[in-house]
Amino acid sequence: MEELILREISVLFLLSIVVVLVCHRFRLPSIVGFLLTGVLCGPSALGLIPNKEVVDLMAEVGVAFLMFTIGMELSGKELVRMKRPLLLGGTAQVVLTMAAVFGLTFWWSGMRLGLVYGCMVTLSSTAIVLSLLQQKAQMDSPQGRTCLAVLIFQDLAIVPMVLMLPLLSGGLDVDMHSMAFAAGKGVATICGILLFGKFVLPRLMFSVVRSRSRELMLMTTLGLCLTVALITYMIGLSLALGAFLAGLMLAESEYSLNTLETMLPFKEVFSSIFFMSVGMLLDVQFFVTHIPVILAVASAIIAVKILMTMPAVLALNYSLRTALLVAFSLAQVGEFSFVLAKSALGLGLLDDSSYQVFLASSIFTMVLTPLLIGAAPSAAKLFLCRWGLSKDCPDSSQPSPDEADMEEANEGGIIRDGRLLKDHLIIIGFGIGGKIMARGAKACGIPYVISEMNPDTVARYRDSEPIRHGDASFPLVLEHLGVATARALTLLISDPAGGRGIIANARAMNPSLYIIVRTRYLGNIDHYRELGADEVIPEEFETSLEVFARVLNRYLVPRQDIDRYVTAIRRENYGMARRLDMGGSIMQSLPDLQLTALTVEEGSPLAGKTLGEAALRREHSVTVAGLRRSEEIDQSPNANTLMLPGDIVYLLATQEAINAAAGLFLREETAETKED
């Protein structure tokens, strides 16, 4: 038995490599490749998988893992905010689609089959839609959240649909008492799971994270996901719904980022197996001999679902463009429809021919889903422009509001206080250096977020600082910190291996990000710069300089001489790395210029003088690149520009020249004290 399972998994994986590579050659999504792999492995094609039950089991686990990761990317508060699209939009989509399908099939199949077809066609593929939206980074867009809400409602609607089939076949008598008992059992179980997540799970996860054991974290996450999924399955709900609830519980924890990163490989593997298992259901010979009928049924399903989903989304006060995007995304038949179809076949509600037509048509709609989602924006734009309902047409450069929202969500930013956080500072590590950095950023009004691995530190500061637990060497953690829209990242940890991963991933995700790194040893400078760091500050070097400066000060060496010595040593040690970064460009011929901001203090020598009177360039070798007064910035100051107390002057010069001129910006007693 073990050899058979290993053989089947090996066949699936090896064949999928070839098929997916061919699909990529023709620019087809990987999901299409996995579906085609299943078709080839199925009994009606090559017949490579004799024991399909094992594959079906792994496929169910794959859908559960997918819903688990989706739940972890939400939270209880976000789900409450989704109650309107979930209840109103989901109800409208299910009712309208069932009514339309029932009306189209009632005349030739009767009332019972009309209801069966309505249930099967209404459901959409959670696995395919959410996978594609995740790949396109559209889960936070209006259409992404609406799709998620409708899909969750469809998963909840599966329960009454499953109960309805035996009633339609006349094979089960269910009274109101037993139905109420089943519903109460489901509600009680879900409430118990949520109470466990609120009162027990946080303490458990704190203990697990505190152990610093990735193996224990993995086992805890897998155990929680599968156990909750099994509990919901045992009371008549789906595995996917239970896994989604488990993900929601962990989403409330500050340790969710590491947990999510741990689960992603399992989700990808098992979700891929799910798509292969769907392909195995297809009877190739039947498909070839009934192509016209299958294409007609598939086209009708897509058309009905698009037309019925649009009013459901419009009822939520979304624009017509968003309604079109959601309708195109949900136009396929879902994976749980196969469960209903198989049950209907076993109960005698469907004959074998009807089952195969529905099966082939459904798989065809699934294969078309990546193309439909990819073409949805262009189709929506064409439709709106054709009927004059949009200003975002070829002669206009302004994007529509929904498109702007989608672009903003796709930028990878993070939300704080209802706003997208941009140009913020990311602080990796919240030791002494991180605390100093956060304190300075707060004092200067610079938005910032903190990533810290120590759970005790996170628990201590989570109410006073924007701090999150996570290993920032994982790309997913950096994504949740908003690295794509950040301006700077400071790396203040003592883990060289983790630091290398953080620098490389952050640079790949945001090429314009300014990365400054603290390292323990001088020998790490070149390696960190090769990975993408802009500045590397070695502790041993800077500490030695400070000791050197204090020793000279003890021997009463003039402060100006000490500053010159320190500047010369810094230039000698950092200069080579800077020149290597510049390559052979003309920048090598420029001096080591820096842009520095200084405030004109009340009572300073420059207060009340014009730039011409100050003669900063002529007498002090510094150039004024700009001047800021309150919220106004003068980017082209001239000789007549007046410097007032409180103005911020931006100087371009060497560090030595800036140090010499800095005293002019201080009030006289401060400058004298500094010299003393």
So what's the pLDDT on residue 489?
93
Contact 251, 73 (CB under 8 A): yes
Tell me the H-state helices in 123-169: 126-135, 142-169
pLDDT of residue 29: 72
CB 321 within 8 A of CB 400: yes
- Which alpha helices (H) appear in 170-238, and where do they start and end? 176-199, 201-210, 214-234
Instruction: List, as one string, the DSSP characters of 384-434.
Output: HHHTT--S-STT--SPPHHHHHHHHHHTT-EEETTEEE-S-EEEE--SHHH
Q: What does the DSSP 8-state code read for residue 642? A: B
12, 539, 556, 566 from 552: Cα distances, Å: 72, 20, 7, 11
- Domain 2-283 fold is Na+/H+ antiporter like fold (1.20.1530)
This model's pTM is above 0.85 = no
**Does the structure show a pLDDT above 70 at 589?**
no
Q: What percent of the chain has pLDDT over 90?
A: 8
Residue 98's pLDDT is 92
> pLDDT grade, residue 583 (50/70/90)?
very low
Distance CA 24, CA 21 (A): 5
* Mean pLDDT value of segment 90-101: 91
What tokens appear for 368 in the block?
């078309």
* Rounded Cα–Cα distance for residues 99 and 240 (Å): 26
DSSP-derived 3-state class of residue 146: helix
Q: What is the mean pLDDT of residues 99-119?
A: 86
Q: How does strand 488-491 pair with strand 425-428?
A: parallel
Q: Do domains 2-283 and 591-675 have the same CATH topology?
A: no
16: Cβ contacts below 8 Å, ≥ 6 apart? 33, 34, 37, 272, 276
Tell me the CATH number for domain 591-675: 3.30.70.1450
Give CA separation, 38 vs 48, 116, 130, in Å.
Answer: 10, 26, 20
The DSSP bridge pattern shows strands 467-469 and 488-491 to be unpaired
Q: Hey, what CATH topology would domain 412-582 get?
A: Rossmann fold (3.40.50)
Write out pLDDT tens, residues 438-457.
888 887 788 899 998 888 88
Could you state, in order of their start, the residue ranges of all structural domains in the chain? 2-283, 412-582, 591-675
What is the arithmetic mean of pLDDT over 33-50?
81
96 backbone φψ class: left, alpha, beta (φ>0; ψ -120 to 50): alpha
Three-state DSSP at 467 gives strand
Please write down the HEC assignment for all residues of 444-465: CCCCEEEEECCHHHHHHHCCCC
The rounded Cα 427 to chain-centroid distance in angstroms is 19
The SS3 call for residue 549 is: helix
Strand, helix or coil for residue 626 = strand
Does pLDDT of 396 surpass 50?
no
Least confident window among 10-14, 64-68, 257-261, 289-293: 257-261
Q: Tell me the CB-side half-sphere exposure of residue 433, using CA atoms within 13 A.
A: 16
Whether the CB-CB separation of 450 and 430 falls below 8 Å is answered with yes
- Which residue do the tokens 């009454």 mark? 160
Average pLDDT score over residue span 597-613: 88
- Cα 420 to Cα 213: distance, rounded to the nearest angstrom: 34
How many Å apart are CA 650 and CA 669, to the nearest integer? 23
CA separation for the pair 363, 358 (Å, rounded): 9
pLDDT class of 400 with cuts at 50, 70, 90: very low
Q: Stretch 611-618: mean pLDDT, rounded?
A: 88
